[in-house]
């Protein structure tokens, strides 16, 4: 009887020790450490290498402001897009700042904040290679090559809307853009702002066939599963910064103006 009671107590202690409640709290760790570890991936205008070093962009401003409001410093870690969610799940970073598309499938693995903005997927096309194309449906053909970035929502859109075309998925946006610019791809699907800026910089080679998104989506920040205190803070932060229009002003600067382009590393 005594042995049974001891075993029961031991098992209860093990359950408590290894339960999620006993794990380190991310919010507490951030405040004690004095740094907010932020995962980013390089996309225009979310996060871009700067001439002066480090990175600039919409998500950089968001993360710096969030850290300042926490009373800590933002520390950025750069990943290929396909690696950024696993890094969050593995605890390498505290949050993903990049405008990550909210999907039910992703919500099974990570926790989203309230939406920060609405956006969508856009398409850039190689002008010479698509001069005979009259409509989007003609791009859904086995002879058509469409470039995209691995693990992005845009990749899923490309494979869904253009299931007959040859989809070339790249680990980085630079490789995908280079394939289009070199004429090895007929089209490139990414976020609408990203393709708009690409076309603006290479209007002699590529074109923007649609001004509206192929598919719309909600963008948010993300934290690991179970980090409710951190999620609560970020949701309160989004609410406050929408109310004082800081988010609107910051997004307008990065998405509507071109004042920052001279600061981006060539």
Annotate 141-186 with DSSP letters as a single string.
STT-EEEEETTSHHHHHHHHHTTTSEEEEESSHHHHHHHHHTTS-S
Let me know whether 41 and 94 are in one domain. Answer: yes
Let me know whether 91 and 157 are in one domain. Answer: no
Let me know whether 182 and 234 are in one domain. Answer: no
Residue 266 lies in a domain: no
**Residue 78 pLDDT exceeds 70:** yes
Let me know whether 203 and 241 are in one domain. Answer: no
pLDDT at res. 54: 93
Let me know whether 127 and 186 are in one domain. Answer: yes
pLDDT at res. 31: 96
Provide φ and ψ at 51, rounded to 5°. Answer: -60, -35
Let me know whether 80 and 158 are in one domain. Answer: no
**Residue 190 pLDDT exceeds 50:** yes
What integer is the mean pLDDT of 101-112?
95
Let me know whether 128 and 203 are in one domain. Answer: yes
pLDDT at res. 146: 98
Residue 17 lies in a domain: no
Residue 104 lies in a domain: yes
Please give the residue range of the domain that contains residue 128. 120-216
Q: Count the neighbouring beta carbons within 10 Å of the beta carbon of residue 174.
A: 11
Which helix (H) or strand (E) segment holds residue 204: the answer is none
Categorize the per-residue pLDDT at 198 as very low, low, confident or very high, splitting at 50, 70 and 90.
Answer: very high
- Coil, helix or strand at residue 202: coil
- Write b or e for each residue in 18-46: b if 16 or more Cβ atoms lie within 10 A of its Cβ, otherwise e: eeeeeeeebbeebeeeebbbbbbbbbbbb
Determine the Cα–Cα distance for residues 165 and 229; give it in Å rounded to an integer. 45
**Residue 59 pLDDT exceeds 90:** yes
Residue 11 lies in a domain: no
Residue 5 lies in a domain: no
User: What's the CATH number where 51 sits?
Assistant: 3.40.190.10
Contact by Cβ (8 Å): 80, 42: no
Residue 88 lies in a domain: yes
Task: Please spell the DSSP secondary structure of 30-99, one letter per residue.
Answer: HHHHTEEEEEE--BTTTBEEBTTSSEESHHHHHHHHHHHHHTSEEEEEE--HHHHHHHHHTTS-SEEEEE
User: pLDDT tens, 161-176?
Assistant: 999 999 999 999 999 9
pLDDT at res. 266: 79
Residue 19 lies in a domain: no
Q: Which two tokens stand for residue 110?
A: 């990570």
Let me know whether 124 and 210 are in one domain. Answer: yes
**Residue 211 pLDDT exceeds 50:** yes
* Beta-bridge mates of residue 120: 216
Give how many domains the chain has, as a whole number.
Answer: 2
Residue 9 lies in a domain: no
Contact by Cβ (8 Å): 157, 27: no
Contact by Cβ (8 Å): 27, 229: yes
Q: Which two tokens stand for residue 169?
A: 């998925």
pLDDT at res. 24: 56
User: pLDDT tens, 127-148?
Assistant: 999 999 999 999 999 999 999 9
Let me know whether 129 and 249 are in one domain. Answer: no
User: pLDDT tens, 1-41?
Assistant: 444 444 445 444 444 444 344 345 899 999 999 999 999 99
Let me know whether 113 and 222 are in one domain. Answer: yes
User: pLDDT tens, 216-256?
Assistant: 999 999 999 999 999 999 999 999 999 999 999 999 999 98
């Amino acid at each position: 009887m005594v042995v049974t009671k001891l075993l029961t107590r031991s098992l209860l202690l093990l359950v408590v020790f290894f339960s999620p409640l006993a794990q380190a709290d991310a919010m507490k760790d951030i405040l004690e450490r004095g740094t907010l570890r932020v995962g980013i991936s390089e996309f225009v205008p979310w996060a871009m290498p700067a001439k002066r070093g480090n990175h600039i962009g919409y998500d950089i401003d968001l993360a710096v402001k969030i850290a300042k409001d926490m009373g800590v410093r933002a520390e950025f870690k750069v990943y290929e897009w396909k690696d950024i969610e696993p890094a969050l799940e593995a605890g390498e970073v505290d949050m993903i700042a990049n405008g990550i598309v909210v999907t039910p499938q992703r919500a099974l693995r990570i926790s989203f904040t309230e939406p920060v903005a609405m956006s969508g997927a856009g398409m850039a096309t190689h002008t010479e290679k698509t001069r005979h194309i009259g409509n989007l449906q003609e791009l859904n053909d086995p002879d058509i090559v469409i470039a995209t970035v691995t693990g992005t929502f845009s990749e899923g859109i490309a494979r869904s809307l253009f299931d007959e075309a040859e989809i070339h998925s790249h680990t980085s946006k630079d490789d995908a853009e280079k394939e289009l610019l070199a004429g090895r791809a007929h089209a490139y699907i990414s976020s609408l702002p990203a393709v708009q800026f690409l076309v603006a910089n290479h209007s002699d080679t590529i074109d923007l066939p649609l001004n509206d998104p192929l598919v719309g989506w909600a963008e948010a920040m993300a934290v690991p599963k179970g980090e409710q205190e951190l999620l609560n803070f970020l949701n309160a932060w989004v609410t406050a910064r929408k109310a004082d229009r800081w988010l609107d002003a910051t997004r307008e600067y990065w998405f509507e103006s071109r004042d920052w382009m001279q600061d981006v590393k060539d």
